[in-house]
Chain A
Amino acid sequence: MTTFANALASAAVVVTVGAVVVLWRHRLRSIVVALAVQGVALALTAGLLAGHEHDRVLFAVALLVLAVKAVVIPGLLARVVAATPGARETDPLVNVPASLVVAGLLTLAAFIAARPIVALVGGPTGRLVPLGLATVLIGFFVMVARRRALSQVVGLLLVDNGIALVAFLVTSGVPVIVELGSSLDVLFGVVVLRVLLARLTAAGFSDLDQLRSLHD
């Protein structure tokens, strides 16, 4: 086992562990920190691939990912959390031990479902695709099982990070224009959601289940 394969696998594992930590922790601050760590690991994955392939464009993509997903987006969310210090995911729809077990099952499902892709891509990168898929599935589960608006935004971002990880691993780097497009898309999405979250918090809502009726 080469050092490159080991380092790449470690970075990819940190992305998946980050998703699990989002399910594990109650405090919204910890959830945002986990998201930031996940962004760093994702950028590291891209950076390692760039170093391995001697691909300068991919290196630029890695820097872009680092800026957007490890600094800007968690920074925006951290400002929302700072408005309500000590905010917690108090009463999730699925409790924490059960959701961790579900995360385990989803990981196994991703492992089984990704076998054709692993066989197709092969090599030290292709083998790690199940971890990306698991991140996507756990992200969907976070959106379903958590009440807080912020947790659901983080769930969306987990899905996005998982997709990005799979893209890096399968194609050994995406064209910079594609990555630019998707990163900026997500960034604008988060900016809009951040404004929405700030309005919701100011209005005293953060539990989306409380929003039942529309009015002017």
Chain B
Amino acid sequence: MSLATVVVGLVQLALVVVGGPLLLGLMRRVRSRLEGRDGPAIAQPWRDIAKLAHKQRTRPTESSWIFAAAPLVLVATAATVAALGPLISLTPPLAASTDFIAVIFVLLVGSVALALAALDTGTAFGGMGASRALTIGALVEPALLVAVLALSLPLHSTNLVAIVADGLRHASVLVGPSHLLALASFIVVILAESGRLPVDNPSTHLELTMIYEALILEYSGPDLALVTLGESMRLAIWLGLFVNLVAPAGIAANATAAGLVLGVVAVTLKVAVVGVVVAFFEVTTAKLRLFRLPELLAGGFILALLGVVTGAVMR
């Protein structure tokens, strides 16, 4: 692991940590504007995090170390993927072992930690949220893995960096039907996994309809600040990986200073555009009933499966 790759990793980490809450703020702002409200400033999530970090920490009396550790696990797993994934450059640290499936499972460790923490509180809403979140997680998994299979078919490799690099070299891969189907499935997965509409309403105040919000009801103060930061980092990572699979243009092929600056600008712009599109979609759509979620996720699964079949017949 050379010094240059370490620099790339640190820049990516800094970008995701700073940019994650800003992305959240941007999406909230766009939603407010489309709903005819002025909305909070884009930097508002950062102000919330700074405010929460200074507040007193209260934890449920019956909770164990799991509740205390979950926010740290969430942020740590997100930070790992932020540093190692191909976000601004094709030369992140440990590029040879950035397996797509491993990246997904590292991110899932964070989700599972939060669900366990919600169970640990012993409250009804926490348990309900954990049950729903894990159900959705189990339904997302097949779609995600089959989409990864479709994306890795042309290369015979599940190395994420190699897949993005291949898209940069051969534009024909990007417009191939197999790739497009896999990405269509991937976006369903991202919406479900990051708790956006139509799967979950991130701005709900009604506990009975909550999924991800119910998981973190008991968190307060610095813990809540960490959870908010971790969730926004995960959203930024999912969207960052997505845009680089859709259109890797602008990503730095090697770790020169100019290349990295261009890479940062490119991925920031692309993620911002996708974030605005997602926010626009969220305003125009309604939350699906919980019992209809399997239909949506089965749809994502079948798109990915068609992607695999198409990829296999085109070879």
Contact = CB atoms under 8 A, between A and B. Distances in A.
Are A and B a genuine interacting pair, yes or no?
A: yes
A9 B310 contact: yes
Interface size class on chain A is 20 to 34
B313 A107 contact: no
A13 interface: yes
Contacts, number: 70
Given A103-B302, A104-B305, A118-B313, A3 B172 contact: yes
A103 B301 CA distance: 11
Q: Give the interface SS of chain B, mostly helix, strand, loop or mixed.
A: helix
Nearest to B176: A6
B309 A111 contact: yes
Interface stretch (B32-40, B107-115, B212-220, B291-299): B291-299
Nearest to A104: B305
A104 B302 contact: yes
Interface in B279-315: 294-295, 298-299, 301-303, 305-306, 309-310, 312-314
Nearest to A101: B298
Contacts of A16: 306
Nearest to B314: A9
B177 A13 contact: yes
B314 A97 contact: no
B13 to A, nearest CB: 36
Q: Give the interface SS of chain A, mostly helix, strand, loop or mixed.
A: helix
Q: 6 tightest CB-CB pairs across the interface, nearest first?
A: A97-B298, A13-B177, A100-B298, A97-B294, A96-B295, A10-B177
Given A1-B172, A1-B173, A13-B177, 16 more contacts: A9-B314, A12-B177, A16-B306, A20-B302, A97-B298, A100-B301, A101-B301, A104-B301, A107-B306, A108-B309, A111-B312, A127-B313, A127-B314, A130-B313, A131-B309, A131-B310
Interface of A: 1, 3, 5-6, 9-10, 12-13, 16-17, 20, 24, 96-97, 100-101, 103-104, 107-108, 111, 118, 127-128, 130-131, 134
Interface of B: 172-173, 175-177, 180-181, 294-295, 298-299, 301-303, 305-306, 309-310, 312-314
